[in-house]
Amino acid sequence: MRKGTAAVAVTAATVGAWSLFRTPPGRFKWQPRDPQAPEVALITGASSGIGAEYARQLAARGLDLVLVARRQERLAALAAELSAAHGVACKTIAADLAQEAGLAQVEAHIRTLDNLAVLVNNAGFGTVGRLVNADPARQQEMVALHVMAPMQLAQAALPGMTARKRGAIVNVSSIAAYVRMRGTVNYVATKAYLNAFSETLQIEQRGTGVYVQALCPGFTRTEFHATPDYAKFEPAQYPAFMWLQAGDVVRQSLDALGNGQVIFVPGALYRGLVALLRTPVLGSALMQMAALFG
């Protein structure tokens, strides 16, 4: 019995690793821009980092944009840049999706869009510190932003996408979804939710023409760590090979849309790490070792 269990575990790990490392091309078809009825992409957390990069690359593919974030000045500057560079229309919505009013505003706008092709749920943040000492309001905002906002915006987008039999929803998650370390309890839990949500939603949407992806990058050079929560974080303590570029992350994500990999991990290093973390026994041992240093 033990030998049989071990064989099953090894087989599962092998299949899991193979599925992570192979990257078949995406099946989501990028259509030429139709000036009369251009497709639209809505991106949350669009004012910087990965969100801004999604905006740039989707504009280059000819999609009109709805850019959502809290910082109106940043959004306006990005909208002007992309309109001038690619001739696309850019609407900006300054909203805090961790608050009910901001989320309701964006949700209502999605329901008015006749040609929404891509929804990118990117808005998010991290904190450092054990839950026992954490600011309750800040933790509740994280859960609202990482869980409720993607769910409600996806639910608002789905009726139109399924009716048109075309659409893509990208939920920006993290390899943190596979890690258990002190001081990150709600960050890892909400990212794990995004992975499970994306996988199950894709099962529901099978055959509808709507594709779902949970993007799980590792360390990426953005402004993510440029907050008071990460005042003691030193990027230089991690070697250069561990850092991804936002442009590469987004390009790989868009190229892989609909390729069967709902959980998409950019970069060979992080694919290998996730494969190890998903391996029975070995993954648990790695978690326990990581917990010693968390």
| Residues marked as catalytic | 187
d(CA 143, CA 281): 30
Query: What H or E segment, with its residue span, contains residue 147?
Result: none
Name the region of 209 (left: φ>0; alpha: ψ -120 to 50; beta: rest): left
Is residue 170 within 8 Å of 119, Cβ to Cβ?
Answer: yes
Query: What H or E segment, with its residue span, contains residue 162?
Result: helix 149-164
Cα dist from 151 to 143, 147, 193, 200, 218, whole Å? 11, 6, 10, 12, 23
Q: How many CB atoms lie within 10 A of CB 262?
A: 18
Q: How many CB atoms lie within 10 A of CB 2?
A: 6
d(CA 160, CA 42): 14
d(CA 78, CA 62): 16
